């Protein structure tokens, strides 16, 4: 039987459940449950070719109730680098008891790996996380509510290369909802610039890697605020692009249009 590692999502996962945009009546009209859809997405990484995460179950514990174990639509291995620039995949949709959430955790299998420069390496989990790191959460799912939550792995920050040349998984995860989702998008030219786009607001930094085919990029899950956008080319001969006062607001997409990098 596959040994499972118990990885707890960031406290941001449950904080994003507070105020979501959609409240629909449950067909069973019981008033005892909430509908929750969880979507998997990824903050990009230029370091890895692939990051394969083995997602087996999601467990939610409500205050005063036993844990509810939920199975993804497709339990198994996901290449999280496929879900960037606004792309995601529906991980699961389920009814859970309404009420206050005390704990949520993502349950991973052992078939995790990372591909670097064409070579695949096992992705191990530190023993401290195998025993679990508990997070006490105090948020509420309203009865008859319908909620969408995006679980966003940060691939670059979630993988550590140790001195023994092994890769360890220490998930850095954030989450956002439609009500707490600010976005920016645009295109970067030339297509050969190998750029990374950064959006910076104080200590908060978001990143995107433009698509090689058309230069498109999109960053989701940004808090409302005024950001500095920086485009860092990955090839010599092109200057760094910077734009200040990029205003991001929840529920809207700031379209930056086409940004052309010059020498």
Q: Say if residue 97 is in the same domain as residue 190.
A: no
Q: Say if residue 174 is in the same domain as residue 202.
A: no
In the DSSP assignment, the letter for residue 157 is H
Give the confidence band of 14 by pLDDT, cuts at 50, 70, 90.
very low
Q: Tokens in use for 148?
A: 């969408």
pLDDT at 26: 37
Give the sheet arrangement for strand 146-154, strand by strand: 89-97, 33-43, 146-154, 173-176
Q: Say if residue 132 is in the same domain as residue 158.
A: yes
Q: Say if residue 111 is in the same domain as residue 41.
A: yes
Kindly report, residue by residue over 170-229, the tens digit of the pLDDT: 877 777 777 778 999 999 999 999 999 999 999 888 999 999 899 999 999 898 999 999
Q: Say if residue 152 is in the same domain as residue 36.
A: yes
Compute φ and ψ for 20, nearest 5 degrees: -110, 155
Residues 109 and 3: their CA atoms lie apart, in Å, by 7
Domain boundary among 130, 146, 179: 179
Give the confidence band of 154 by pLDDT, cuts at 50, 70, 90.
confident
What does the pLDDT average to over 84-102?
84
Instruction: Check pLDDT > 70 for residue 54.
Output: yes
Is the bond leading into 190 cis (omega within 30 degrees of zero)?
yes
Q: Say if residue 209 is in the same domain as residue 85.
A: no
Q: Say if residue 45 is in the same domain as residue 87.
A: yes
Q: Tokens in use for 132?
A: 């679990």
Mean pLDDT of all residues in the chain?
A: 80
Q: Say if residue 119 is in the same domain as residue 61.
A: yes
Residues 253 and 87: their CA atoms lie apart, in Å, by 15
pLDDT at 30: 45
Q: Say if residue 119 is in the same domain as residue 222.
A: no
At 100, is the secondary structure helix, strand, or coil?
A: strand
Q: Say if residue 77 is in the same domain as residue 173.
A: yes
For residue 208, what are the domain limits?
Answer: 181-260
Query: Residue 245 is part of a domain; what is its CATH number?
Result: 2.60.40.1120
Task: Please report, for residues 100, 229, 248, the alpha-carbon distance to residue 209 in angstroms, rounded to integers and kept in the order given.
Answer: 37, 13, 19
Task: Please report, for residues 54, 56, 174, the alpha-carbon distance to residue 72 in angstroms, rounded to integers and kept in the order given.
Answer: 11, 7, 19
Contact 112, 122 (CB under 8 A): yes
Q: Tokens in use for 251?
A: 């529920």
Domain boundary among 148, 179, 210: 179
Structural domain count, the chain: 2
Q: Say if residue 168 is in the same domain as residue 185.
A: no
At 193, is the secondary structure helix, strand, or coil?
A: helix
pLDDT at 138: 53
Q: Tokens in use for 226?
A: 């005024």
Q: Which residues contact 241 (CB under 8 A, 6 or more apart)?
A: 229, 230, 231, 259, 261
Q: Say if residue 87 is in the same domain as residue 36.
A: yes
**For residue 70, how many other CB atoms are within 10 A of its CB?**
19
Domain boundary among 147, 179, 211: 179
Kindly report, residue by residue over 162-179, the tens digit of the pLDDT: 888 889 888 777 777 777
- Which residue in this structure is represented by tokens 């996380």? 129
Is the bond leading into 39 cis (omega within 30 degrees of zero)?
no
């Amino acid at each position: 039987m596959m040994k499972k590692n118990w990885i707890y999502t960031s406290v941001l996962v449950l904080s994003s459940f507070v105020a979501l945009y959609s409240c629909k009546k449950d067909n069973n009209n019981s008033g005892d449950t909430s509908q929750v859809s969880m979507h998997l997405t990824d903050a990009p990484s230029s370091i890895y070719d692939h990051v394969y995460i083995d997602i087996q179950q999601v467990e939610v514990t409500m205050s005063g109730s036993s844990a509810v174990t939920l199975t993804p639509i497709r339990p198994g291995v996901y290449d999280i680098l496929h879900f960037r620039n606004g792309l995601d995949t529906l991980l699961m949709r389920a009814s859970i008891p309404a009420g206050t959430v005390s704990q949520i955790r993502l349950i991973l299998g052992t078939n995790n790996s990372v591909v670097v420069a064409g070579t695949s390496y096992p992705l191990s989990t530190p023993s401290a996380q195998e025993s679990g790191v508990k997070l006490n959460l105090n948020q509420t799912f309203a009865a008859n509510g319908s909620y969408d939550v995006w679980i966003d792995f940060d691939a670059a920050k979630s993988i550590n290369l140790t001195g023994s040349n092994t890769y360890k998984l220490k998930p850095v995860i954030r989450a956002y909802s439609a009500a707490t989702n600010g976005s920016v998008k645009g295109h970067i030219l030339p297509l050969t610039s190998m750029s990374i786009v950064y959006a910076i607001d104080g200590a908060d930094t978001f990143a995107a890697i433009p698509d090689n085919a058309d230069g498109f990029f999109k960053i989701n899950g940004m808090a409302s605020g005024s950001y500095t956008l920086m485009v860092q080319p990955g090839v010599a001969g092109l200057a760094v692009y910077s734009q200040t006062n990029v205003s991001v607001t929840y529920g809207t997409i700031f379209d930056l249009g086409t940004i052309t990098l010059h020498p």
